[in-house]
Structure 1
């Protein structure tokens, strides 16, 4: 088994007003063109798609059911229990009716669980048809499914799909947050009425999941709530942002090209449709004309009147011409039907790509803002760090009478105990009062703590709360008995 010290569990939690937008991706309900685009833009390997599976009621492992989209499953589940979807009928459906979990772990360990020691080519995105799914990944998935079922109710699980066709094996689990009164309420189920309650609930959720993952060699990582990070160091996060912006821009360009190509295909298909329609109209007119010419001749035949060989031959020729027209007509109608289906498929693909492009544009904009902010943060961090280092160095060389000028100021505290002040301030910003108090007291602070009820005020922005947290941290880190300079 891979070293547990190096392998960490992963859990991502998101909310949405439904599951329709993610259904095709989770279930792989794509057209061939859609799948080709997904493979081109993402890390999907179609040769491993057959390894994906679902966990259903009772913890049974079954193939992925593509016939029932997730929004249909959710609607059927709510209807069977008489639960009202609060978004139905809303002009802007913004109630959080679905919670989307992604469960995974470090790449090496998840690969070991999914494929054992088999050779898997993750770069080629093809050629892995002979790779087999190992029973360990199924058992891991069952354990995670049972964990979710115990925590949130098996009856509230919309789907639990495990993907083995991407770079790292992972499970998508979608649930409806139903409270004890049988109503959809994200805040009730996830203890989200106050920020401290919610943070405590999520931290406990991570801890409980770690107990499940322990047997699979996946340890609990440091919570993002404690670090304020995204699972990266500051430097690696900034590198990730740079790469993310480049990647998003490339994906956006590829999507625009794909949409342009689809528009060309649509134009061609619609031209064909118009052409076939015109041909059908002309052939139909020819058929009617032949039928009109044949009708009196058939009447002569039907009445038993003697007809000349010439008329008989004419009837035969007209019948042959009519049969040929009908054959061409059937052929063109079949082609028209096929073209109509092609146009419908192209339009669906185009709509899906345009939706993805719209979402990508929003994501790219957010990432670019993050990127710009990260550059500013780097410069601010550098300036602050340099000033602190230089002042600390100069402060130590000052005579005592000169140091008295800085007595009990922030500059003095930063020069003598800067790291602890910053750590306590950060803990207070995260509303971890006990940890902040413990850190301050452990390092000689005697200024007391903020007491109960410490939290960000409703009328405070982040900067105001940070300033108040820093002021409180200074007080808490002040040596006991030291008098504040006026």
Structure 2
């Protein structure tokens, strides 16, 4: 039985979008950036002309590369009188951008894009003969209409369809603004708590499946329904290590690209300097010839000297001047082209530097994740064993022994460890009200924290934040009054 083609919708919030991400979506690349993309093997430059975007009114057009997404976002906010909450901050902290990828199973998406045309998947193959089918445009317009209906057409900043990669797909970049022009990612996408978020996400995929049904794309499987399990520690470590290695390779490739760009810029600067000198010399020659011609014409008009000889000299100098003018026009044209090429190389180099720095940060983050996730998992395993042992011992202790441990972390672990963990998890996710309701509904006092305790503090790493939220959860889960009941 043939597999059913599945739809894809991946939603990710961010605190803005980088120039590198914008350039990738718009294919605002020079030769060096394209060379790096082709080396990775996921792109086909001979199909770049098939890419397109959808703009206001659902109009299909070639991708407009004149402005980056960052510029478009800034202009849209200014037009609507909205201030970017991350403006002026040393580190952005607010989710002001949502990136959504729409797509589906590879074979089905290729069929929509190319039909029965032959696509040569060999690396470096020429697929410039392929034509874009109207089906992929209509599918993209349906996705655009879906996005407009859910989040507002005025909030869509970019809607780009890529047919030059292994699997055709589209990128939608939008501002999470509500009807009052306020940034409201949590209210628009996440909801009030984890259960609300799960329900919203499920409903969103179901709604999209109705639209995608006409295109032969079905609803993806729900992890909760299929019983899919999380990666094991070793699988997770291998995955992160692989990602880190890949990023390091990309960084090295970017360094090589930067070296080539630097060499090209030096050559371009020498060419500009040489052409500038040539133009200056030719301008000087032009001035001298024109001055000499003016003097000879004045002498001829005044009858000074041999008129025939003067005319011969004037004719010869006219010929020389014309050659100088032709040469000057040629050198000015070449200088303009050299200036343009030099500026293009500098822009490309800056973009590559930005992307290299982003990759370096990603690599540091993943390397840190490997250590942190390993630590978390080992701590989790050890905690589970300690908690089980402590609960067993607690059951055999006398009231007098238990009173000695009253109010300590050992009592909390023995009597309510699972509930403390669940309460702490809600706090880490930012669901403060839900954590309070949970604590009170589970027999805890639900208080024990001030406003300044919510959220991550400046300079606080993941481990310190987690520990602080667990301490807060312990206080919240204690019975009303803040202390355990004294046993007799």
1:63-142 mapped onto 2 (5 Å cutoff) = 63-67=62-66, 69-74=68-73, 77-78=76-77, 83-87=80-84, 90-92=87-89, 94=92, 96-107=95-106, 110-111=109-110, 113-115=112-114, 120-122=119-121, 124=123, 126-133=125-132, 137-142=136-141
**Are 2:356 and 1:360 equivalent residues in the alignment?**
no
Counterpart Cα distance in 2 of 1:366 and 1:89: 22
Deviation at 1:452, TM superposition (A): 10
Deviation at 1:100, TM superposition (A): 2.1
Counterpart Cα distance in 1 of 2:16 and 2:175: 10
Call closer, same or farther: CA 1:53–1:295 in 2, change over 3 Å: closer
TM-score by length of 2: 0.71
Call closer, same or farther: CA 1:405–1:274 in 2, change over 3 Å: closer
Q: 2:184: which partner in 1?
A: 186
1:417-436 mapped onto 2 (5 Å cutoff) = 430-431=425-426
Residues 259 and 350 of structure 1 are in contact (CA less than 8 Å); yes or no, is this contact kept in structure 2? yes
Residues 431 and 454 of structure 1 are in contact (CA less than 8 Å); yes or no, is this contact kept in structure 2? no
1:179-258 mapped onto 2 (5 Å cutoff) = 179-181=178-180, 183-187=181-185, 189-190=187-188, 196-197=192-193, 200-201=196-197, 203-213=199-209, 215=213, 216-222=217-223, 234-258=233-257
Counterpart Cα distance in 2 of 1:265 and 1:47: 24
Counterpart Cα distance in 2 of 1:18 and 1:305: 75
Counterpart Cα distance in 2 of 1:153 and 1:222: 29
Q: 2:260: which partner in 1?
A: 261
Q: 1:339: which partner in 2?
A: 338
Q: 1:3: which partner in 2?
A: 3
Q: 1:52: which partner in 2?
A: 51
Deviation at 1:286, TM superposition (A): 2.8
Residues 53 and 60 of structure 2 are in contact (CA less than 8 Å); yes or no, is this contact kept in structure 1? yes
| 3-state SS of paired residue (2:306) | coil
Q: 2:174: which partner in 1?
A: 175
**Are 2:453 and 1:459 equivalent residues in the alignment?**
yes
Call closer, same or farther: CA 1:205–1:404 in 2, change over 3 Å: closer
Q: CA-to-partner distance for each residue in 1:356-375, whole Å, 9 max, x for gaps? A: 11211211111111123344
Q: CA-to-partner distance for each residue in 1:451-477, whole Å, 9 max, x for gaps? A: 79699996383235458879999x9xx
| 196-205 vs 273-282, which moves further | 196-205
TM-score by length of 1: 0.72
Q: 1:12: which partner in 2?
A: 11
1:396-475 mapped onto 2 (5 Å cutoff) = 407=395, 430-431=425-426, 449=442, 459=453, 461-463=465-467, 465=469
| 3-state SS of paired residue (2:38) | helix
Deviation at 1:126, TM superposition (A): 3.9
Call closer, same or farther: CA 1:90–1:8 in 2, change over 3 Å: closer
Deviation at 1:51, TM superposition (A): 3.1
Counterpart Cα distance in 2 of 1:150 and 1:375: 43
| 67-76 vs 249-258, which moves further | 67-76
Q: 1:271: which partner in 2?
A: 270
Q: CA-to-partner distance for each residue in 1:401-458, whole Å, 9 max, x for gaps? A: xx9857479xxxxxxxxxxx998877555449xxxxxxxxxxxxxxx94579699996
Residues 101 and 173 of structure 1 are in contact (CA less than 8 Å); yes or no, is this contact kept in structure 2? yes
Call closer, same or farther: CA 1:236–1:109 in 2, change over 3 Å: farther
Q: 2:368: which partner in 1?
A: 369
Is there any run of 5+ residues in structure 2 with no aligned partner, and where?
398-415, 428-440, 455-464, 480-485
**Are 2:293 and 1:294 equivalent residues in the alignment?**
yes
Deviation at 1:68, TM superposition (A): 5.1
Residues 157 and 173 of structure 2 are in contact (CA less than 8 Å); yes or no, is this contact kept in structure 1? yes
Counterpart Cα distance in 1 of 2:373 and 2:24: 31
